[in-house]
Structure 1
Amino acid sequence: MTGSIEQGISQTHGNTHILHFLVRLPRPMEQVWPSVATADGLAAWFTPADVLEPHLGGAVTLRDIGSGRITAWDVDRVAEYTVEGGGRIRFHLERDGEQGSALRFTHEFEGEWESERGWRLRFERLIEVLEGDS
Structure 2
Amino acid sequence: MTGSIEQGTSQTHGSTHILHFLVRLPRRMESVWPALSTPQGLAGWFTAVDVLEPRLGGAVTLRDLGSGQVTAWDVDRVAEYTVEGGGRIRFHLERDGEEGSALRFTHEFQGERESEERWRARFERLIELLGKP
TM bracket, shorter-chain basis:
over 0.9
Match of 1:38 in 2: 38
Q: Secondary structure at the match of 1:98?
A: coil
Which runs of 5 or more residues in structure 2 are unaligned? none
Give 1:112 deviation, angstroms. Answer: 1.4
Q: 1:13-67 deviations in whole A, cap 9, x for unaligned?
A: 1111000000000000000000000000000000011000000000000002100
Cα drift, residue 78 of structure 1: 0.1
TM superposition score normalised by structure 1: 0.98
Aligned residues with identical type, % of pairs: 80
**Equivalent in the alignment of 1:58:** 58
SS of residue matched to 1:45: coil
CA distance in 2, matches of 1:73, 1:29: 15
Cα deviation 1:62-103 (Å, max 9, x = unaligned): 002100000000000000000000000000000000000000
Match of 1:102 in 2: 102
Counterparts of 1:112 and 1:84, CA distance in 2: 14
Pairwise CA distance, 1:111: 1.1
Amino acid at match of 2:15: N
Quote the residue 1:20 is aligned against.
20
TM-superposed CA distance for 1:123, in Å, is 0.1
Distance, in Å, in 1 between the alignment partners of 2:68 and 2:118 is: 22
Residue correspondences, number: 133
Q: What CA RMSD, in Å, does the superposition of the two structures yield over aligned residues?
A: 0.4
Q: Give the Cα–Cα distance (whole angstroms) in 2 for the partners of residues 10 and 112 of structure 1.
A: 12
> Normalization by structure 2: what TM-score?
0.99
Once residues 113 and 92 of structure 2 are traced to their aligned partners in structure 1, the CA distance between those partners, rounded to angstroms, is: 21
Separation in structure 2 between the aligned mates of residue 48 and residue 5 of structure 1, nearest angstrom: 23
